Structure 1
Amino acid sequence: MLRKRFLLPAAVLTAAAVAAVTGLRGPTDSIAGTVPAPAAPAPETIAVQAAPGGTRSCTPGAEIPRAKFWLNNNQWGKESGTGTQCIWDTGTRGNLSWGTSWRWAGQANSVKTYASVVRGWHWGWKAQRTGLPTQLSARKPIKTSWTYAVSPQNPGTMNVAYDLWFHALPQPDWMHQPTDEVMIWLYRSGGAGPLGTKQATVTIAGTTWDLYRGDIGWNVFSFVRTGNTTSADLDLTRFTDDLTARGWLPRTKYLSGIQAGTEVFTGQGALHTSAYSVKIG
C-alpha cells in the first residue's frame, strides 16, 4: 500500500506529483495553495455504529466484500502522519450503505487515506461479475447515485470523490498500471484541490465543474464541482464523453475500475453513506 513521495513546499500540488509510477494504490490529488500544518486534532467523539449484521474494521488495508463491491480501508499515505481510520458497512439491500471515520495529523499537503467502495479493478480483482472492464466505444451508460453526510461541519482537509481507472488492455491485472485516471469531486473542505492545472469549466448533469489535467506517468483528469453537494445522481459516461470530445481519452480505452470515497489529508470526521449504487449498461 506504499508509494514513493517527494517532500515539496505546501504551495506545490504534491500528492499526485509525489506518487511513484510504481506501487500506487490511491487516487492522485493534493492541496492547492499554502495550508498551514494543523496541530493534532483535539479529542472528540464522532458516533459511528455499524447496523446489526454489518462489519467494521479499523485495520489498515482491511477489505469488506459486499456482492459486486468491496470496501477498502486504503491508508496508502499514512506514513506522512499519525492517526487512525475505520470503515464499516450497514447493508446491501438495494443500495450499498457504508461509512468511514478518521483522525489524522501530520503533513498538511499529503493525502493519508482514501477509504472507498470499489467495483472492478484496483490493482487486481476482488469480486466477480462486476460488469467491468467495458470499452468506451461500447457507449454503455454508467449510472450511479450516492447520498451521504459529512460530519462535523469542519472535518479537516479532505474531499469526497469518485475515482475511475482506465487501461488499454481488456483484462488488466495487478501488475498493469493504468493509462488514465478520472476523478469527480463532489465535496471538499480545508483547502483540498486537484492535481494539475485548470483547463476549462464545463456543465454536466445540470451543474458546473472545473476541469483539471495533470500527469504522473498516466493522465489524471479531475472534475471538481464548483459547489459542494451531499447527493449525486450521475451518468459517468457524460464525463468520459467530455474528455473524448477533447481528444484526451480515446474510445479504445477500457474503464476497469470505479471507486467512491474520501481522501483525507488531516483532521477528524466521518463520512456516512446512506445509499450508493452503480449500474452498468
Structure 2
Amino acid sequence: MKTSSPASPTPGTSRCPATASPSYGRSRHDPHPEAPRRPGHRPGAGPRRGHPRKSPKRQGRHTVQRAARKLFLTSLIALLAVIGFAATPAQAATWSTSAQYGSWSNGGYTLYNDVWGSGAGAQTMWANSYSNWGVWANHPNTGGVKSYPNATKYVGKTLTSLSSVTSSFNVTAPSSGSYETAYDIWDSNNANEIMLWMNYTGAVGPLGSSVGTVTVGGHTWTLYKGSNGSNAVYSFVRTSNTSSGSVNILAVMNYLKNTKGYFGNITLGNVQFGFEITSSSGGLNFTTNSFGVSSS
C-alpha cells in the first residue's frame, strides 16, 4: 500500500449532504498523394505538351510541402489516438450517464452520478460493474462541493446484530484538482453520517472540529465531529493518503457507539464509496478499479 503525507485539511470546507436511504437519488491516408503516372509516360521521355517540366526549385518546394503534410497528418493521427484512448473507458463501458442524478443498479449496489452542488460543470459517469467504474468531471475552480459520484450498498441491520462489516477499494485519482476519496456511511434514519477519508488533494477539509487521533478499523485517523444542521457528521481523515486497502467498518462504528458514546444501537443503512469533488477544472478522470462491501 503506497502512502504519502498530505497537507493538513482545512476543517469546514467540505461536506457531503444527507442522502436518502435505499431510494437515494442524489454521468490515413495522405489527402494529397502524388498523381498516378499517366499511361504512356516514361521516365526521361520528355515533357508532354501542356505539361511543362517543373523547375528543380519548384520540385524542391513541392517535396518540402508534401513532407510537411505527412508530418502534420502523422501528428494528427497520434493525437486522435491519444484522445481515443483517454475516452475509451466511458465509450466501452457497460453503462454511462451525463444526467445530473443518473443511476444504475448492479449486483446489489447502486451507482449515482450525483452532481448536487451549485455551480457544477459537466460530469459523465461510466461503469462496467459496481466494482469497476469512474467519472470524468470538469467542475470550475470555485468553493463548495460539486458532486459525489459513488457506489452504494445498503446493509439494513443493527450494529449489535452484525458480526462483520468490511470493505476494500482500489482507485486511480488525479494529482490536481480539489477532492477527497471517501466512504460516506449512514444510519437508516440519516441522523448520523460517518465519513472515512482515504485520500484528499487540494483545498478541502472535513466539517467540525478535531477531537483527536485514533487508530481503528485498520487505519490511523484524525477524527472530526460536527453537524451540518440536518445530521451529526463524524469524519475520520486518514493521517496519510492511500489509494488502496481495506477497512473494518464495523470496528469504526462500534468505536463511535461504545468508546465515544455518540449514538446507540443504530441500524446501519447506506455504505457509500466515491469521490467528493470540489473542483476539477479542465476535466479530470477518477477511476475505481475495484470496490466491495461485505457484511454478516
TM-score class normalised by the smaller sequence: 0.7 to 0.9
Asked whether the equivalents of residues 165 and 255 of structure 1 are also in contact (C-alpha less than 8 Å), the reply is yes
Question: Which of 106, 126, 132 lines up with 1:88 in the alignment?
Answer: 126
Structure with bigger gyration radius: 2
Asked whether the equivalents of residues 50 and 90 of structure 1 are also in contact (C-alpha less than 8 Å), the reply is no
CA distance in 1, matches of 2:209, 2:93: 45
CA distance in 2, matches of 1:61, 1:271: 18
Structure with the larger strand share: 1
Partner of 2:168: 145
CA distance in 2, matches of 1:53, 1:270: 14
* Structure 1: gaps spanning 5 or more residues: 1-10, 27-44, 121-131, 169-177
TM-score where L is the length of structure 2: 0.69
What is the identity, as a one-letter code, of the residue corresponding to 1:158?
Y
Distance 1:56 1:241, change over 3 A: same
Partner of 1:180: 192
Partner of 1:129: none
Partner of 2:45: none
Asked whether the equivalents of residues 135 and 254 of structure 1 are also in contact (C-alpha less than 8 Å), the reply is yes
For the pair 1:272 / 2:287, whether they are aligned, the reply is: yes
For the pair 1:208 / 2:220, whether they are aligned, the reply is: yes
Distance 1:237 1:113, change over 3 A: same
Partner of 1:6: none
Q: Within 5 Å, give how 1:1-281 maps onto structure 2.
A: 13=12, 15-16=14-15, 47-48=86-87, 49-50=89-90, 52=92, 54-77=94-117, 79=118, 81-91=119-129, 96-105=131-140, 107-108=142-143, 110-120=144-154, 132-151=155-174, 153-154=175-176, 156-167=177-188, 178-216=190-228, 217-244=230-257, 245-251=259-265, 253-267=266-280, 268-281=283-296
CA distance in 1, matches of 2:249, 2:19: 26
Higher mean Cα deviation, 201-210 or 236-245? 201-210
TM-fit CA distance, 1:67: 2.0
Structure with the larger helix share: 2
CA distance in 1, matches of 2:94, 2:25: 26
Residues 110-161 of structure 1, C-alpha deviations (whole Å, 9 max, x = no match): 00000000112xxxxxxxxxxx21101113311111011112x21x110000
CA distance in 1, matches of 2:173, 2:11: 27
Q: Secondary structure at the match of 1:208?
A: strand
CA distance in 1, matches of 2:183, 2:11: 23
TM-fit CA distance, 1:20: 8.8
TM-score where L is the length of structure 1: 0.72
Identity, % of aligned pairs? Answer: 26
CA distance in 2, matches of 1:211, 1:196: 9
TM-fit CA distance, 1:249: 2.2
* Structure 2: gaps spanning 5 or more residues: 1-9, 27-82
**Aligned residue pairs, count:** 223
Residues 92-119 of structure 1, C-alpha deviations (whole Å, 9 max, x = no match): 6xxx2111121101532x0000000011
TM-fit CA distance, 1:13: 2.3
CA distance in 2, matches of 1:54, 1:119: 20
TM-fit CA distance, 1:207: 3.0
